[in-house]
Structure 1
Amino acid sequence: MSARLWKSALLSGLSIALGLAGGYWYANSRMAEVSGSPAKPVTATQDGRKVLYWYDPMYPQQKFDKPGKSPFMDMEMIPQYADAAAETSAIRIDPSLTQNLGLRLASVTRGSLANSLEVIGVLAFNEREVAVVQARADGFVERVYARAPGDVLQAGAPLVDLLIPDWAAAQEEFLALKHSGDAGLLAAARQRLRLAGMPAALIHQVERSGKPQAVLTLDSPIGGVVQELDVRNGMTVAAGATLARVNGLDSVWLSLAVPEAEAGAIAQGQAVEARLPAFPGEVLAGTVDAILPETNPDSRTLRVRVELPNPDGRLRPGMTAQVRLNRSTAQNVLWLPSEAIIRTGRRALVMLAEDGGRYRPVEVRLGPESAGQTVVTQGLTEGQQVVASGQFLLDSEASLKGLTAPTAEQLTTTAAPVLHEAEAQVMAIDNAGVTLAHGPFKTLGMPGMTMTFPLADPALMVGIKAGDKVRVAVRQSDSGLLVERLEKQGGQP
């Protein structure tokens, strides 16, 4: 091989080696960018605005610390400004699209809220108005009047005639003593008739007529419904046997099933309004008569008894009623429409509407609910706007973006800002702040990178030098992320 050919081959080999080395360096530098380990801190600014990082809109989850071509697409990366970082804590929707999405807003209002509870009730017999008809002595049934269970009777309506043989001999003795003229013996004989179970009216009838009355007609002591009639013609009955049972209708019970969560707001004597489908447009007034001590284990409801007057007898047991339990009216409370609340099981959320078409989830603490309105005890202020329709769509979008709702305490406590923490290593310290190679801020959705952060207090750097491993806590500020806390990791000199 000639010297010229050998020299040409040597130059070609050197060019190939340099090309391979350059390609290897470029690939490594791009891989370092993709892996989130940038080579220098973010200090770039544009139009006077602080740039946090650059990203490819097609791959927004990957962030870079300097501008340039995207390693994924043939396009320039775009900057993320510090003054736009607040957008990461909310969802933004073009206001012109809200109507297309079916979003409807409602205001958080302060004022009076009528506190009432709507439940279903069923009419039942008043068990305090019960009359039991019994035989006062051994006898025989001579006649049963045309009655049957379910019949409605007036007070004094006859039920059955009983023949009581033992009473006939006692009455004959009483009438004989009456003719003797001995007042003491007559009084003793009259007392004997009473002790035998004879009613005073029957004794008076025997004394006035002078004839024995061995047949006793048993009447209904009250007006009402015949519940039981256990007697037939010719039966032999014993003293104390129950022949009939009559339930009065002058008043009825309205039995309510109240959810156990509302049991603490029910009190005896509380006013009640009942509306029956049988009498449309009519409102019946009553009061809570009793709160039964047991809860239904299947429906987790408490039985509440209301007594309603029934002078004309038109309220019949078994009828249903829509019942409103009127409680005290809450004054000067904060409330919002109940439909705006998202109940997750562990807590209650609303989607708070902010300026510029921004929406973010907020945790709220709730009070009583009435007529489609719910009292808010913590988490919102008067005049704020919440999403009353379409909030579940926004909540799903917030979950996909990893947005978490601040707790009610965080929203009402201004002295404690929300901090985001990560592990980091101090790369440099200067007047601008501290440069950190930090891991991911998970609560911000921000991956690991190297950045320069301003300090909330220069005293935070006391005892910390370049190369130290620290635990850093930052918060969102108008100028970007601000270091609020730096803690040197244990075991370092």
Structure 2
Amino acid sequence: MASWIEDKRNIGLVVLSLTCLLLLGLLLNRPGMPPPREDDHQHDASSAEATIWTCSMHPNIRQPEPGLCPICGMDLIPVSEGSDSDGPWSLTLSEHARSLAQVQTAPVERRHIAHEIRMVGKVAFDEKRVGDITAWVAGRIDRLFVDFTGIEVREGDHMVELYSPSLVTAQQELRQAVRSVKSGPSSMRKASESRLRAARKKLGLLGLSSRQIEMIERSDQPTDHLTIESPMEGVVIEKHLNEGAYVNTGSPIYTVADLSRVWIILDAYESDLAWLRYGQEIEFEVEAYPGESFSGRIVFIDPVLNPRTRTVKVRIDVPNPNRKLKPDMFVRAVAHAMISGGGKVMDPGLAGKWICPMHQEIVKEGPDACDVCGMDLVQAEDLGFVAESTTEPPLVVPASAVLVTGERGVVYVEAGEAPGTYEGREIRLGPETGDFYVVTSGLEEGDRVVVNGAFKIDSELQIRAKYSMMYHPSAPEDAPNLVVLETHAPFRLSLDAVYGAYFQIQDRLSRDDLASAHKAGQDLAGALKKAAVIHLDAKGKIHWDRIDENLAENLDTFAKAPEIEAGRAAFEAVSEDIYRMAMQFGSSDAVRVLRFHCPMAFDNKGAHWLQNHESTANPYFGASMFACGSQVEDLAETRKAASDAPPPKAGGHDH
């Protein structure tokens, strides 16, 4: 009886289960029920495809499994197998993705772009219009007619009364010559007239004017006092002596400056020099006359840069008829410049004009002589000016389109006929003018570049482990164009100590040990002094002296670094000097020199350093990112390739 009850219970459970399954099937297949979506498993399929893992900061790292980046320690991210279908440095975005990224493009075009350069400076004396009033004969100052500075004098005004006994002898010679001409025999007249001319000239050389000499000829009594007159018009800016002082021949008594013309001395930053040329018109204001504008032309650009301020002196020569501009007044100036396709600033007003090479303020319509020095004028084009009508406008690109990282400029160009495909390009930039960059290579007129959304495109490429502004094979290949020299083995052997000391600095900085790095810096300075330069030829010594001088200065900066961050910044300059040394002079077979690059150093600007082993030891981050960076060059191989390369053809150009 119990068995029958148990079987009946089991049969009931089976029937109940079948009933539930039937009801579930009816619900799933009832009319209006949407079929399962095909992309329900798309995530799983995508995960299955993501068999490659990479680092967003070092896309060259590719591993089959997730983990940490062996360089910087960041988490690896998955990369889809199909992400490279657009090419290593291109990306295709759908219309919806372009809208989300707010991508906008603009054409690359040729146009003349105006640039505003602002400068500051001071009013200064015109050095060509400053003169000294001196004693032409030794004597004693009995009277100073101008006894304080600031007095305006005119040409011929009396300035000093000077007692000089030597004047008496010269005057007696003049009177005797006059008597000989008047009462001497006619046979001696020519000789007497010659003596008279010589006596007059002698007094003229003693500082007497022709009027004073005539007065002496008419006077019967000689005088032992000389009145010195002003030879020029101007303002007395300095009084050198007082009454009663004895002077020698040539001793300055006054300094007089003619303020009818003055100089405006401006400070221009070296980055602005590409926009400045001789003859360019400058507008300026002074604090004393707010709202009033003055103008002048550039007549001189100092050939020497001030190393402390990183500025160059620019001079303007301007008229000052009302004496409103006074020396040492503060000046604010602005220049409106245009740049040509060849990179030379144009001054349309100078087209076809003639200018004096020595006095650029002298500008005339045709060939002539300079009013100041008498030199022949030359055409403006001979001094570097380019007429607007004779040159092609430069190729320009909006500044918002350029991603600048270190020494590289990157833009994204709309590629192909299909919309939404963008390709990265490295370009070479010329001067910047606020809203535009001049492009010297890398783009062509008509290319459409991304002016909004370029950074988002670049970020997506980094995520997909493609080329980007942060990583590109050409990025580290920025070696300067150095002359590879053939050197003797004894000299290369003497450099082993230099390289060894440098590698000690690099190693200590990678271990965050600034004190030991400073000690290694001293060793490097000592090793430089022991280099066997006696084995270098004349050409080699010239190149060595340049490197040695720069390296000594950079080592001094490194030695004075108070903290490790400053030391690392100075070490970068030292590294560039050692790199140049290794490239030009080589090393012995016992030393291996490898060049490394870290794109994240110095706020993602990137930096290089040298090592003698292949395991990365980053001196710019130390323990925080010890292995960040990668080897980009073996200098022995680079030197060999440069030595094996055929020499350039005569008259050729390296493109």
Please report the TM-score for the alignment, with normalisation by the length of structure 1: 0.55
Give the counterpart letter for 2:326 in structure 1.
R
1:195 aligns with 2:202: yes
| Whole-angstrom CA distance in 1 between matches of 2:87 and 2:197 | 101
Q: Hey, what does 2:551 align to over in structure 1? A: none
Identify if the C-alpha distance between structure 1 residues 178 and 365 changes in structure 2 by more than 3 Å, giving closer, same or farther.
closer
Q: Hey, what does 1:367 align to over in structure 2? A: 430
1:322 aligns with 2:336: no
1:341 aligns with 2:405: no
Give the counterpart letter for 1:218 in structure 2.
I
| Whole-angstrom CA distance in 1 between matches of 2:461 and 2:148 | 69
Question: Quick check: 235-244 or 199-208, which moved more?
Answer: 199-208
- Does the Cα contact within 8 Å between 2:401 and 2:449 map onto a contact in 1? no
Identify if the C-alpha distance between structure 1 residues 347 and 188 changes in structure 2 by more than 3 Å, giving closer, same or farther.
same
| Whole-angstrom CA distance in 2 between matches of 1:356 and 1:177 | 103
1:234 aligns with 2:244: yes
1:138 aligns with 2:152: no
Q: Hey, what does 2:119 align to over in structure 1? A: 120
Q: Hey, what does 1:255 align to over in structure 2? A: 265
Identify if the C-alpha distance between structure 1 residues 107 and 118 changes in structure 2 by more than 3 Å, giving closer, same or farther.
same
- Does the Cα contact within 8 Å between 1:115 and 1:369 map onto a contact in 2? no
Give the counterpart letter for 1:350 in structure 2.
V
SS of 2:283's equivalent in the other structure is strand
| Whole-angstrom CA distance in 2 between matches of 1:221 and 1:186 | 28
Q: Deviations over 1:128-167 (max 9, x none)?
A: 2221211011221112234444555444444322122332
Give the counterpart letter for 2:331 in structure 1.
T
Q: Hey, what does 1:438 align to over in structure 2? A: none
- Does the Cα contact within 8 Å between 1:364 and 1:408 map onto a contact in 2? no
Identify if the C-alpha distance between structure 1 residues 155 and 117 changes in structure 2 by more than 3 Å, giving closer, same or farther.
farther
- Does the Cα contact within 8 Å between 1:352 and 1:387 map onto a contact in 2? no
SS of 2:128's equivalent in the other structure is coil
**Residue 235 (structure 1) shift:** 0.9
Q: Deviations over 1:156-201 (max 9, x none)?
A: 4443221223324543564466567336557635633531413322
| Whole-angstrom CA distance in 1 between matches of 2:209 and 2:83 | 99
| Whole-angstrom CA distance in 2 between matches of 1:275 and 1:60 | 66
1:274 aligns with 2:337: no
**Residue 332 (structure 1) shift:** 4.3
Whose relative contact order is higher, 1 or 2, with alpha carbons under 8 Å and at least 6 apart?
1
1:402 aligns with 2:465: yes
Which one of the candidate residues 47, 50, 56 is aligned to 1:56?
A: 47
| Whole-angstrom CA distance in 2 between matches of 1:401 and 1:151 | 79
- Does the Cα contact within 8 Å between 2:282 and 2:298 map onto a contact in 1? no
Q: Hey, what does 2:300 align to over in structure 1? A: 290
**Residue 120 (structure 1) shift:** 1.9
Identify if the C-alpha distance between structure 1 residues 312 and 136 changes in structure 2 by more than 3 Å, giving closer, same or farther.
same
1:387 aligns with 2:386: no
- Does the Cα contact within 8 Å between 2:50 and 2:81 map onto a contact in 1? no
Normalized per residue, the structure richer in helix is 2
Identify if the C-alpha distance between structure 1 residues 346 and 400 changes in structure 2 by more than 3 Å, giving closer, same or farther.
farther
Identify if the C-alpha distance between structure 1 residues 179 and 219 changes in structure 2 by more than 3 Å, giving closer, same or farther.
closer
- Does the Cα contact within 8 Å between 1:91 and 1:398 map onto a contact in 2? no
Identify if the C-alpha distance between structure 1 residues 127 and 399 changes in structure 2 by more than 3 Å, giving closer, same or farther.
farther
Identify if the C-alpha distance between structure 1 residues 339 and 127 changes in structure 2 by more than 3 Å, giving closer, same or farther.
farther
**Residue 339 (structure 1) shift:** 4.3
Which one of the candidate residues 231, 244, 251 is aligned to 1:221?
A: 231
- Does the Cα contact within 8 Å between 1:286 and 1:308 map onto a contact in 2? yes
| Whole-angstrom CA distance in 2 between matches of 1:258 and 1:204 | 54
Q: Deviations over 1:338-364 (max 9, x none)?
A: 344332122112355788877765422
**Alignment RMSD:** 4.7
**Residue 240 (structure 1) shift:** 1.6
Question: Quick check: 53-62 or 369-378, which moved more?
Answer: 53-62
Please report the TM-score for the alignment, with normalisation by the length of structure 2: 0.43
Identify if the C-alpha distance between structure 1 residues 177 and 313 changes in structure 2 by more than 3 Å, giving closer, same or farther.
same
Question: Quick check: 342-351 or 326-335, which moved more?
Answer: 326-335
Identify if the C-alpha distance between structure 1 residues 162 and 110 changes in structure 2 by more than 3 Å, giving closer, same or farther.
same
Identify if the C-alpha distance between structure 1 residues 394 and 82 changes in structure 2 by more than 3 Å, giving closer, same or farther.
closer
| Whole-angstrom CA distance in 2 between matches of 1:58 and 1:80 | 6
| Whole-angstrom CA distance in 1 between matches of 2:261 and 2:177 | 48
- Does the Cα contact within 8 Å between 2:83 and 2:464 map onto a contact in 1? no
- Does the Cα contact within 8 Å between 2:91 and 2:457 map onto a contact in 1? no
Identify if the C-alpha distance between structure 1 residues 277 and 398 changes in structure 2 by more than 3 Å, giving closer, same or farther.
farther
- Does the Cα contact within 8 Å between 1:126 and 1:249 map onto a contact in 2? yes
Identify if the C-alpha distance between structure 1 residues 54 and 158 changes in structure 2 by more than 3 Å, giving closer, same or farther.
farther
**Unpaired runs of 5+ in structure 1?**
1-45, 64-70, 73-78, 411-493
| Whole-angstrom CA distance in 1 between matches of 2:293 and 2:51 | 63
SS of 2:304's equivalent in the other structure is strand
Q: How many residues align?
A: 342
SS of 2:111's equivalent in the other structure is strand
Q: Hey, what does 1:487 align to over in structure 2? A: none
| Whole-angstrom CA distance in 1 between matches of 2:105 and 2:286 | 34
Q: Hey, what does 1:488 align to over in structure 2? A: none
**Residue 290 (structure 1) shift:** 3.4
**Residue 405 (structure 1) shift:** 3.8
Percent of residue pairs identical: 25
| Whole-angstrom CA distance in 1 between matches of 2:427 and 2:472 | 6
| Structure showing greater Rg | 1
Give the counterpart letter for 1:165 in structure 2.
P
Identify if the C-alpha distance between structure 1 residues 193 and 334 changes in structure 2 by more than 3 Å, giving closer, same or farther.
closer
**Residue 230 (structure 1) shift:** 0.8
Identify if the C-alpha distance between structure 1 residues 350 and 80 changes in structure 2 by more than 3 Å, giving closer, same or farther.
closer
Q: Hey, what does 1:451 align to over in structure 2? A: none
**Residue 313 (structure 1) shift:** 2.7
Question: Quick check: 180-189 or 289-298, which moved more?
Answer: 180-189
- Does the Cα contact within 8 Å between 1:110 and 1:332 map onto a contact in 2? no
SS of 1:55's equivalent in the other structure is helix
| Whole-angstrom CA distance in 2 between matches of 1:193 and 1:105 | 86
| Whole-angstrom CA distance in 2 between matches of 1:372 and 1:238 | 64
Normalized per residue, the structure richer in strand is 1
Q: Hey, what does 1:41 align to over in structure 2? A: none
- Does the Cα contact within 8 Å between 1:134 and 1:244 map onto a contact in 2? yes
- Does the Cα contact within 8 Å between 2:135 and 2:251 map onto a contact in 1? yes
- Does the Cα contact within 8 Å between 1:108 and 1:383 map onto a contact in 2? yes
**Unpaired runs of 5+ in structure 2?**
1-36, 55-64, 67-78, 338-344, 347-387, 475-655
Identify if the C-alpha distance between structure 1 residues 62 and 212 changes in structure 2 by more than 3 Å, giving closer, same or farther.
closer
| Whole-angstrom CA distance in 2 between matches of 1:199 and 1:95 | 88
Q: Deviations over 1:46-78 (max 9, x none)?
A: 99xxx9x93239989669xxxxxxx99xxxxxx
